[in-house]
Amino acid sequence: MSDPSLFDALFGAGNHTVVIDGHFVAGPARLGDTPVAVIGSWDAAAVDGDLALAIAGEILRVVEADAGATPRPIVFVADTQGQALSRREELLGLNGAFAHVARCVDLARRSGHPTVALIHGEAVSGGFLAFGMLADRVVALPGAQVRVMDLRAMSRVTKIEFDRLQTLAQHSPVFAPGADNYWRMGAVHALWHDAGADWRAPLATALAEAVDAAGHDGRAALGAERGGRTLAAAVAREVANEVAGG
């Protein structure tokens, strides 16, 4: 279960007025002299259309409020078991709602808002990919669980035997869940460990790195450096060279 003391650890007591409304969290905070906007999901949320639109709406509100001023950093908090699995949500266009969230995150980034995603609890599938994975910096807090697809579900989709996938997962992070494996692939930039329940300094570092990373996605290269994605960066360079060469 999500712990509200997270925000004291991130910003210091009295430096935030984040509101928890069911599975939705949002509100202003301050890190030192820097105002910050907090937006995200809470308590292992199954993200449905209503929650997705609430997240998107808050992103748009922050972008609009900061128009003509210095764009605030946005800290996304992700605690989600994935998208809500129901025929109703699919028929109502949950995929479109998620696409809308992704476009709003892209708008925020292009509008100059540095973005940091903090995985607090679970980060699963589309409930995380639609906003948290798009941030300039992605951080996994202690105990965070990260996965896109359960190995049994992956077996059904890929038609690869479950036992074979278990074997592959022991050697390749591409097949394996867990924050450590996503760190190796470069999808998670940093793993935070218990710092005496005071993460203000690590958060300040992550925000500074998000500013430096604006407009540049180096995750494929980071995955190659860490040994988790050995070919992605090289293949991307080869494709870019072919395109440039006409």
pLDDT digits (tens, 9 = 90+) for 71-122: 999 999 999 998 888 898 989 899 999 999 999 999 999 999 999 999 998 8
Segment 30-47, tens digit of pLDDT: 999 999 999 999 999 999
Alpha carbon distances (Å) from 82 to 52, 127, 133, 148, 193 = 11, 4, 13, 8, 24
Residue 222 lies in a domain: no
Average pLDDT over residues 176-195: 88
Residue 205 lies in a domain: yes
Please give the pLDDT value at position 100: 96
Tokens standing for 84?
């809500």
Segment 139-166, tens digit of pLDDT: 999 989 888 777 888 888 889 999 998 8
Residue 180 lies in a domain: no
Prediction pTM value: 0.91
Alpha carbon distances (Å) from 59 to 18, 53, 65 = 14, 10, 10
Query: Looking up tokens 């996938």, which residue turns up?
Result: 165
Residue 61, domain CATH:
3.90.226.10
Range of the domain at 60: 6-142+192-215
Q: How many domains does the chain have?
A: 1
